[in-house]
Amino acid sequence: MDNAVSLVQAYLRVNGYFTVTELPVIEAMRGGGYRTATDIDVLAFRFPRAGRLVPRHGASRSRDRANHDVDPELGIDGESADMLIGEVKEGKAELNRGAREPAVIRAALTRFGCCSPERAESIAQELVRRGHAETDHGHRVRLVAFGSTTGDGAAPNYHIIRFARVVSFLESHLSHNWDTLRQAEFKEPGLAFLGLLHKAGVHLRTPMS
C-alpha cells in the first residue's frame, strides 16, 4: 500500500468507515482471456450511527466514553449508510478513466453486496452521470477523489477531499484524544507515522482546508 492510500485509509477508519484498499478489477476480454482493467484505490462503508467507544473497565456503561464526531468535509448526512468508491492521487484529485467506467463501478457495487446485478447496472450509470446515487435500501453511494490539489476549470460531479484536510483532521484527532490514543498500538501505517511524530512532539500544523 502506498503512502497516500495509507493516509486515506486511516482518515476514513477514524471517521467510522470499514475499508478495502487497492482492489483489482479483472475484466473479461471480447476475444477470450482476461486482463486487469484497473485497481480501485479504496472502497469504504459507514453505518449511519458509527462511532468510537472507550468502555469503562469493570463499571456500568453509564461511564463509557463515546465519540461520534465526523469530519464535515465528508458530507455525511447521518441518516443513511454511506458507501464510497475512491481514487487516491498524490497530485490533482481526480478520477481516472477506469474509475468512471460503468463496468468497474458495477464490480465495486458487487463487492459491497448492496444490490442485484441488474440494479448495479443502473446505479453505475447514475454514478457516472451524477457522482452519487442511492440504493433500493436507502444507502448512499458516492464517487470521491483524494489528492493534493483540485486544479482549475469546472467543478467535477464527484466529491473531492484534499490531503491537507486528511492530514489536519488526523492531527486534530490525535491531539484531542491523545490521553486515550497514546496507549494504542496503531496498525495503519499512516496513522502510526503521525502518532510517532506526536510522541516525538513534532506537529505538522497543517490548516483545516
Rounded to whole angstroms, the Cα distance separating 166 from 161 reads: 8
Q: What is the pLDDT of residues 104-123, one digit of tens each?
A: 888 888 888 888 888 899 99
Closest CA to 43 of 94, 110, 133: 110
Cβ neighbours around 55 below 10 Å, total:
11
Q: What is the pLDDT of residues 33-76, one digit of tens each?
A: 887 778 889 999 999 888 777 666 666 666 666 667 789 999 98
Per-residue model confidence (pLDDT) at position 111: 85
| Domain coordinates in residue numbering, the chain | 3-163
Q: Is 11 exposed, middle or buried (0-12, 13-18, 19+ CB in 10 A)?
A: buried
Q: DSSP letters along 147-190, please?
A: ESB--SSSPPSSEEEEHHHHHHHHHHHHHHTHHHHTT----SHH
Q: What is the pLDDT of residues 175-200, one digit of tens each?
A: 887 676 666 677 777 777 787 777 77
Q: At what angle do helices 189-199 and 163-176 cross, to 10 degrees?
A: 50
Rounded to whole angstroms, the Cα distance separating 7 from 88 reads: 10
pLDDT, the chain, mean: 83
Is pLDDT at 146 greater than 90 in this prediction?
A: yes
| Contact (Cβ atoms closer than 8 angstroms) between residue 64 and residue 55 | yes
Q: Which of 20-29, 63-72, 158-167 has the lowest mean pLDDT?
A: 63-72
Per-residue model confidence (pLDDT) at position 60: 63
Q: What pTM value is reported for the model?
A: 0.85
